[in-house]
Amino acid sequence: MKNFPLGGRDRCIMVDFAKDDTTKDSNGSVFGRKRRATKSPPGGPRTPPGSPKPVVKSFEELDEEYATTWQGQVLLKKTEYSIRLYRIGGTERLIQKLLRDDDGNAVKLHVTQRLALTGQEGLLERLTNSSSKQLSLMIAVGKQLDDIRPLVRYLTEKDAAGVVTVTGGLLYIFPHSDMSTKLLNHFAPTVRLMSDGCPFLLFVLGLKTTSASNTPEP
């Protein structure tokens, strides 16, 4: 009863009938309420744009400041390592385009070559001169924090970066080294968690060019 006077004309109860968002078919059957599609938040910094970025010196600080952008497997020889990637610089679009298949699933990253880190001034210059729209920089962490220590140890002992070829791009996997330190200082100076013996790796993903591989070793 809309606007029915209770206790006098000046004491009306106003009833506002809200619309029900259920839908019905031609036979009157209720389908249920409509739901809006939601998307997962993109990876990268959680700090609002324009705000100063806090210094990151531990995994806990990395996990608090940056979102996981990719999860999957890295394969070296016959050993698989489950990893999580935190994008600390560059573009998210490149990760989603090059590290996923047509169905959106993470591709397996097969390390087939290694690149000696000595004498790579040309590679360092090319990477640091690249636009942030042409690269993606990520910190790789094991599913359990120490899971990728054997991979870190292997690359450190070889003084080399792992090289993964993906469709349309190249992925470099750096252990803690002079080159990884210079790349971090250039692209993500507040990220300072890589050091001797740390269980982290620096991933640098870029579009493939004819001279990008710098004659890696098999």
> What ranges do the domains of the chain cover?
59-207
Give me the residues of the chain with pLDDT under 50, please. 1-2, 4, 6, 13, 15-41, 212-213, 215, 218
d(CA 122, CA 211): 10
Residue 138 sits at the vertex; the CA angle it makes with 89 and 67, to the nearest 5 degrees, is 80
DSSP three-state, residue 200 = coil
The answer to whether 208 and 169 are in contact (CB under 8 A) is yes
Tokens of 59: 């995994």
Strands (DSSP E) found in the chain: 22-24, 30-33, 44-45, 66-76, 79-90, 109-111, 113-116, 135-142, 160-166, 169-174, 201-207
pLDDT of residue 53: 82
* Residue at token pair 């890295």: 74
pLDDT tens string 102-137: 999 999 999 999 999 999 999 999 999 998 889 999
For the domain covering 59-207, report its CATH number: 2.40.290.10
Given CA atoms 130, 133, 134, 138 in this order, what sign does their dihedral have?
A: positive
Provide the CA 75 distance to its chain's centre, in angstroms: 19
Helix or strand holding residue 96 (H, E): helix 92-98
Amino acid letter at 4?
F
- Residue written as token pair 């698989």: 80
Which among 107, 138, 109, 113 has a CA at the least distance from the CA of 205?
A: 138
The per-residue pLDDT for 208 is: 83
Q: What are the distances in angstroms from CA 109 to CA 20, 78, 89, 118, 190? A: 49, 12, 20, 24, 27
pLDDT at 50: 64
